[in-house]
A and B are shown apart, each in its own frame.
Chain A
């Protein structure tokens, strides 16, 4: 909880004012029954209407002040809690953006999103409640008890008997409801999982005709959820009637004891009504405190989840060391800037917590302007290799060098600015085609975007879209086919005029004709840039200057296609599986 406090500091004015104004409201609340007593006992009983009016007026005045206090408290409490919510969301989002590559596997997107929205909302609500009840409940309770004892110590004491009873009951309710509500959360998640799977896997469910079993599976989850909710709600639902009963029985006691008093003295009806009033306020404040406690404890889980992200390991974005010799200007054509010189020297990498190296003993180098092909079976470590090139993670041993200097000493932002990366899955964003391509280089103009698009073999199909480059793609826009998305993704990387272009199996959805056209275009349109191509088909990389063969994280071969075909058994195996037994025309 203390972690939250630091987020409240910028709003400390509101945090202080809210309870103060609440105190005002409470004071007015406590004074009103007292006025009421006077209205009745001194005004009405003695037939003194003007006096009654006088006190009634006072009562209304107090009500007015109380209203102002309540209003003011709401305003400041809202500002503080909403401000906290906004700040928290912003910080959390920044933390998500900073999350290091390694932490990313711990926190998949769905949980990050849940924490950003659900947990932050929960905390915001809790702060709001705290600021409003934190002062109110205790003050009312203490103040109410005080007023009762002040008005009549002897009689008053007799009325306070429900308090300890209520305390015990509430403690019981809290202790038992908490685990029940926690369980409901888990059951909710379980139900959501079934729904989610049926939505994303709707084709599979239909093809295998499994709807009946899925319905059964769901009804089990839903039934369990209903049972759990019933149990939890029943406990909460029992507290209010109980409080009312205690209150009402006090009224009975009041009638009795008051009556006894009357027989020996004066019936101060107004006084009695005031007593009942205070008692009601005390009992309900106690109940409010209990509810507040329950809500706050449920918030603990949210605090934990938010802290995890805020404290998660982040990428080191700083980096001293030499700037690239050619300088910053992206307008300078690549040919004169030159491609990057990339070298892996004795690199090994192991994911934390893993029992084995994902990559071991990689040593190779490509010179500026050359093309490196990377090939290997599924799970050989190709994507990990690329992650090291992009510096999403640092090698466990050895070093990755660019232009002779260890990557760790280069300015990370500058390095990434020079890399054009086309990931395996073409992740695009909601927006127009133009925006998506231009995303790679914000300073790019229309001409540059078109140039990149033509190079990526995307221009042809984009022209065929309803609104050309202005067509909106994304969740609510046009759905592009796999191959079309890949080409947009490639264009996005190309528009940066990168020094090094990394294609991670980015042509899998393209047919061979389009792919070969792309290869030719890249050869001529991006002269001088170093190219790294991860591929499944040897055909895609056979003309590379060097091919790296990865097998189970190890460098199984490095050389030209011809060399490898003659000497490398792993490579020969792959080639055989691809060309196969089909007859090849000479």
Chain B
């Protein structure tokens, strides 16, 4: 028996559809602005922030050099040692920003651009999904395709995040500047499990919907 009842979708779904439309529009604008800024900042124009940091780093460097020269004989002095440590940490932090080699720059730009576009695509697919739901095609193969795309994209985002952070850590790893903070840095930069978890949930949801599609097809072909 055919069950083709064209009922009006509930108010909440209509609202969600409108919100997703707005979110898609805003995300596309936001992504284009961010990507433009990223590309211009990375390859052509030196942003004022980086130039400020460069000057700051050079002054810290000079101070450090002076301190080292004067404090070499009184190295046992505990308080001065602490000050030196603090300054070294600051120097290290700034040095990372200063020493952005082209390889690092490319890794950062490519990974962030990919993540940006993948998330934009996710919002776009969500909008398409909501449109299908709003039209009343709950159990349709096209509806499920959107959810599956979202899950794959989220998983790839997580993978790219993991790869880029490990690559960057691997590149910036050196014995001379090694300090206990670097291990913390690696642990802290581990991509969030929330993305992976949501990707898995979307993937499982797509399978649940697929089962629904099979049931609906069977129901439609039962006379």
Does A pair with B?
no
Taking Cβ atoms with an 8 Å cutoff, the residues of A that contact B are none
